[in-house]
Amino acid sequence: MREDLLISEFRKPRQMLADQEYDGHLSIHDKKMAEDLGFSGAPIEGPTHFSQFVPLLHKVFGNDWFTKGCISVHYQNMVVEGEEVQAMIEKAPNCSGIARISAQKRDGTSVLTGTASLGPDYGETEVDKRLAKLRPPSQLVILRDLKVGQKGTGNPESVRMDMDQNMGDMYPFSNKQKLEKITETHEFYKSETPWGGPIIPLEMISVLTNYTNYLSGFISRGPAIGLFASQQIKMIDGPLMIGKDYLLEREIIALSESRRTESNWVLIRVLCANSKKVKAEVILNSATLKESYANYKADAADLGKDLSL
C-alpha cells in the first residue's frame, strides 16, 4: 500500500432524515419523494460521510485538525442506506499543506471528492476552485429573488447544541441519537477533551448551522426540492463545543445554475456568543432541482428564459 494513502474500512452510513421537513414539505431524504424525482432511493445526507474521514485526518494532522482544520468537498453521487462507503486521504508531502480526499462505494462509484487542510493558510480548497470557475447564471427562475451579498434576515442567529437536544424539523434527532448511529465515532465526541467537554462531531456542524433554518430569509420559489452539492467546513478557532452558545451570520456569496439545478452558495460564520470571535466558517452550495418545481416552465416562459440552454 502507498505510504501517502490512508484508507478507511467500508462502512454503511445510516439514514436519519426520513422525517425531515422544510418549507412545510418532506425533503429528498423521504423515499417516495426521492423515487418520484427518479432517484433509486432516499439519499443519505452528504455530511454524514465526513465522520469516516475524522480518524484519518486526526492521524495526519493531530489535534490541530479539530482547531484549524478545513474539509471541502463536492458531492458526486448519492448513497442510500445499505450501501457501503470507503474514505481515502492522499497525504501531502511531510504531512503539511493540502491533502486530496475522496469517498467511493464498494463498486468504485465516486461519492465525493475534495480537499483537507490546516489554517491559517488553508490553500486552495475544493470549494475555492469551484467558486472561481462559476459563470453568471443566464436567468434564474426558482432563485430569482435572491442577490449576491444578501444577508440572512435573522443575523445574528443564536444557536447551541446540547447532547440531548432535538435539532428540529430539519434534523429530527439529537446529538446523542446521532452518536448511537454515527458511521465512525471518536473519543472527543463523548468525554472530556483537551478543550473541556465533548466537541460537536464534524458532520453535526452542518446540523448546528442549519438548525435555525438554513434558508434564513433567502426566499425562493416553490415548493421545490433541494440537495447539498458542495460544502466546506473551516475551523478558525475550534473546536465547536457541545453545550456552548454561538451566533450565526449568513451571506449569499454566489448564485449559479446547471442544466438540472439552480444553486445558492451561502457563507455561514459561527461566532462565540460572548466574545463575538469567529470560530468557524461554513460554505454550503444548496442546489434546487428544477424539475421539482411544478411551475418552473411557466415561470421561465414569463421571464423569457431560453429553455434550450
The residue with greater pLDDT, 2 or 134, is 134
CATH of 5-302, one of 3.40.640.10, 1.10.760.10, 3.10.129.10, 1.20.58.2030: 3.10.129.10
The stretch 10-24 carries a mean pLDDT of 71
Q: How far apart are CA 141 and CA 137, in angstroms?
A: 10
Helix H or strand E encompassing 188: none
Q: Which amino acid is at 48?
A: T
Query: Residue 306 above 50 pLDDT?
Result: yes
- Rounded to two decimals, the pTM is 0.90
Q: What is the pLDDT of residue 214?
A: 52
The pLDDT mean for the chain works out to 88
Q: What is the pLDDT of residue 21?
A: 52
Q: Quote the distance between the C-alpha of residue 278 and its chain's center.
A: 19
Q: How far apart are CA 237 and CA 222, in angstroms?
A: 37
Query: Residue 30 above 90 pLDDT?
Result: no
Q: What is the pLDDT of residue 81?
A: 84
DSSP at 22: E
Q: What is the pLDDT of residue 153?
A: 86
* Residue 307 CB neighbours (<10 A): 10
Q: How far apart are CA 140 and CA 33, in angstroms?
A: 24
Binned at pLDDT 50, 70 and 90, residue 41 comes out as low
The residue with greater pLDDT, 308 or 101, is 101
Q: Which residues contact 265 (CB under 8 A, 6 or more apart)?
A: 131, 230, 252, 253, 254, 255, 256, 283, 284, 285, 286
Q: What is the pLDDT of residue 191?
A: 86
Q: Quote the distance between the C-alpha of residue 250 and its chain's center.
A: 15
What does 215-237 look like in DSSP terms, one character per residue?
STT---SSS--EEEEEEEEEESS
Query: Residue 39 above 60 pLDDT?
Result: no
Backbone angles phi, psi at 236, to 5 degrees: -105, -40
Each residue's pLDDT tens digit, 164-208: 999 887 788 899 999 999 999 999 999 889 999 999 999 999 999
The percent of residues above 90 in pLDDT, for the chain, comes to 68
Binned at pLDDT 50, 70 and 90, residue 211 comes out as confident
Q: What is the pLDDT of residue 217?
A: 73
* DSSP-H helix ranges across 27-103: 31-36, 50-61, 64-68
Q: What is the pLDDT of residue 29?
A: 46
Q: What is the pLDDT of residue 215?
A: 53
* DSSP-H helix ranges across 62-201: 64-68, 126-133, 175-181
The stretch 4-16 carries a mean pLDDT of 92
Backbone angles phi, psi at 108, to 5 degrees: 95, -5
Q: Where are the domains of the chain?
A: 5-302
Query: Considering only 39-53, 104-118, 220-234, 279-293, which range has the smallest mean pLDDT?
Result: 39-53
The stretch 233-257 carries a mean pLDDT of 97
Binned at pLDDT 50, 70 and 90, residue 218 comes out as confident
Query: Residue 92 above 90 pLDDT?
Result: no
Binned at pLDDT 50, 70 and 90, residue 1 comes out as low
Q: What is the pLDDT of residue 231?
A: 98
Q: What is the pLDDT of residue 25?
A: 43
Query: Residue 87 above 70 pLDDT?
Result: yes
Q: What is the pLDDT of residue 212?
A: 79
Backbone angles phi, psi at 192, to 5 degrees: -60, 145
Q: How far apart are CA 172 and CA 153, in angstroms?
A: 24
Q: What is the CA radius of gyration of the chain?
A: 19
